Amino acid sequence: MDGLVQQPQQPLTGRFTPSSQGDLAPSGERSRIHANLHVIRLLRELEEAGRPANEDKRAQLARWSGWGAVPNVFDERKSEYAAERAELMELLSKEEYAAARRNIADVAADGRVYAGDLYDTLHGRVDVLVLNAPYVPTEEIGLLPAEARLHGPRVALDGGADGLDAQRRVSAAAPLWLAPGGHLTDRDEPAPGAADRRHPRP
Ligand SMILES: C[S@@+](CC[C@H](N)C(=O)[O-])C[C@H]1O[C@@H](n2cnc3c(N)ncnc32)[C@H](O)[C@@H]1O
């Protein structure tokens, strides 16, 4: 396939580093949707070919930005996005499309995304805090599967010496942020009675 790396056995190494905003998601709703659709198409191609992305393809993949900023593509009342919606439905399985749509519905319930260091950007009190913080002990990062080790941002993985730095900070400040009777839960907590397989030990 044109432009794909020619050696199927070549491991997925190296990373694309954006050098300017122009290397990331384009601005504008329609352009973002088109960039996202392109990335899904490209991923399908790569998966089918069973090959890693070469440098050029990685640069294209970096233009992905997800659907949070462009929820209108899922809104059937928005006929201006009918063609893009149809294409997305064709590219994704029914389950994948439903999951993406569900995620957007969750975001749209509040309509805002807060970005910042833990609680810094939150205002007021919340009923439920769901934590999905980094939990890998620093020294174990090297043992992670290649896709996480090579491509996961350090900030998403590194949980400090015992992997619980963020959890400690969140628990310590949770009483300030939880409404009376509120709950703090860790998305990665194993279900009651289930073995914790996140860090299997010999
Ligand atoms: C284990 S990843 C989970 C990512 C995402 N929730 C998911 O399910 O794919 C941990 C996330 O915590 C974020 N993070 C790490 N330290 C943080 C901090 N001090 N404040 C806010 N977010 C932080 C990372 O950027 C990363 O997105």
CA of 3 to the centre of ligand 1 (A): 33
Cβ–ligand 1 contact at 133 (below 6 Å):
yes
Instruction: Extract the tokens encoding 13.
Output: 């190494």
pTM of the model: 0.56
Cβ–ligand 1 contact at 31 (below 6 Å):
no
Q: Which residue's alpha carbon is nearest to atom 26 within ligand 1?
A: 156
Spatial distance between the Cα atoms of 42 and 3, rounded to a whole number of angstroms:
11
Q: What is the pLDDT of residue 106?
A: 67
Name residues of the chain where pLDDT drops below 50.
Answer: 1-11, 194-202
Q: What is the pLDDT of residue 16?
A: 78
Neighbouring-strand partners of residue 130? 185
Q: CB under 8 Å to 118, separation ≥6 — which residues? A: 166, 169, 170, 173
CA of 91 to the centre of ligand 1 (A): 28
Q: What is the pLDDT of residue 199?
A: 43
Q: What is the pLDDT of residue 1?
A: 37
Q: What angle do CA 193, 127, 196 make, to 5 degrees?
A: 20
CA of 133 to the centre of ligand 1 (A): 5
Q: What is the pLDDT of residue 123?
A: 75
Ranges of each domain in the chain: 21-110, 118-186
Q: What is the pLDDT of residue 140?
A: 95
Q: What is the pLDDT of residue 80?
A: 96
**Which residue, 114, 119, 120, 136, is CA-closest to 170?**
119
**Which residue, 199, 183, 68, 193, is CA-closest to 134?**
199
Q: What is the pLDDT of residue 17?
A: 78
Q: What is the pLDDT of residue 190?
A: 57
Q: What is the pLDDT of residue 41?
A: 97
Q: What is the pLDDT of residue 83?
A: 97
CA of 70 to the centre of ligand 1 (A): 22
Helix (H, G, I), strand (E, B) or coil at 158: strand
Q: What is the pLDDT of residue 150?
A: 80
Neighbouring-strand partners of residue 129? 184
**Which residue, 101, 113, 18, is CA-closest to 64?**
18
Q: What is the pLDDT of residue 169?
A: 94
